[in-house]
A and B are shown apart, each in its own frame.
Chain A
Amino acid sequence: EIVLTQSPATLSLSPGERATLSCRASQRISSYLAWYQQKPGQAPRLLIYDASNRATGIPARFSGSGSGTDYTLTVSSLEPEDFAVYYCQQRSNWPITFGQGTRLEIK
């Protein structure tokens, strides 16, 4: 089973700042990685798939990058609604697995 390790566990930033979230896989996953945003009491929302493709309706301030085992989600300029928990998910190998999440909180 591929283990996804997200860092940091919590990121404290202010609106307007740039956020960089990391996801490291225990083995190479060939860019088969997605990012989700989850707000309290809501289901996860797909942001990015195949490491760098924005899902339908996702603002351009969200971008993904990476290859091999190391992947990054960047939010270029934080809006108030971006403060949430973010999860990565791999589909390279069965079973599908998720990271433990990074909480993005308002500083």
Chain B
Amino acid sequence: QVQLQQSGPGLVQPSQTLSLTCAISGDSVASNSATWTWIRQSPSRGLEWLGRTYYRSKWYNDYAVSVKSRITINPDTSKNQFSLQLNSVTPEDTAVYYCARDLTGQNYFDYWGQGTLVTVSS
């Protein structure tokens, strides 16, 4: 059974960096078929795909254009997890953030983390 366990702070100050981690059990971040994704959800923007990391003989990343200049997603094979960093946050980045697995690289998400509400406020 795959499980994704998210961790990270729920409050971030404006202009600072949002950092979240997604620990994987039951699968490997270095899987040659799965991809590992961050998605956020807010009342104003709905569900928004942010980016992904995946391994196909080497590591790849894809990011949404809307956050491309501010986002980094990194795998950590030693801990079997992946992380999200979003720089220079504003109140518009306030959302519930989810990590998710796409089993086959077809961009459908079959397992999700529990979600983390991140509020950007001073």
**A-side interface residues toward B, CB under 8 Å?**
34, 36, 42-46, 49-50, 55-56, 87, 89, 91, 94-101
CB distance B47 to A43 under 8 Å? no
Cβ distance B76 to chain A, nearest Cβ, rounded Å: 22
CB distance B46 to A89 under 8 Å? no
CB distance A44 to B109 under 8 Å? yes
CB distance B112 to A96 under 8 Å? no
Closest B residue by C-beta to A98: B47
Chain B positions 98 through 122: 1 when the CB is less than 8 Å from some CB of chain A, otherwise 0: 1010000011111011110000000
Instruction: Determine whether B11 belongs to the interface, using a CB cutoff of 8 Å to chain A.
Output: no
Which one of B47, B106, B113, B115 has the highest number of Cβ atoms from chain A below 10 Å of its Cβ?
B47
* Residues A100 and B46 in contact in the complex (CB < 8 Å), given A43-B98, A43-B112, A43-B113: yes
* Residues A91 and B112 in contact in the complex (CB < 8 Å), given A44-B47, A98-B47: no
Q: Which of A36, A91, A100 contacts B107 (CB 8 A)?
A: A91
Q: List 9 A-B contacts (CB under 8 A).
A: A43-B100, A45-B112, A46-B108, A46-B110, A50-B108, A95-B64, A96-B49, A96-B107, A100-B46
Closest B residue by C-beta to A1: B65
* Residues A34 and B47 in contact in the complex (CB < 8 Å), given A43-B115, A95-B64, A95-B65: no
Q: Which of A45, A46, A55, A97 contacts B49 (CB 8 A)?
A: A97
8 tightest Cβ-Cβ pairs between the two chains A and B? A43-B112, A91-B107, A98-B47, A96-B49, A49-B108, A34-B108, A46-B110, A100-B46
Q: Which of B47, B65, B112 contacts A87 (CB 8 A)?
A: B47
Alpha-carbon distance A97/B47, docked complex (angstroms):
8
Residues of the A chain whose Cβ atoms lie less than 8 Å from the Cβ of B65: 95
Cβ distance B72 to chain A, nearest Cβ, rounded Å: 18
CB distance A91 to B108 under 8 Å? yes
CB distance B110 to A98 under 8 Å? no
Residues of the A chain whose Cβ atoms lie less than 8 Å from the Cβ of B100: 43
Q: Which of B48, B98, B110 contacts A55 (CB 8 A)?
A: B110
Cβ distance A7 to chain B, nearest Cβ, rounded Å: 15
CB distance B110 to A91 under 8 Å? no
CB distance A101 to B49 under 8 Å? no
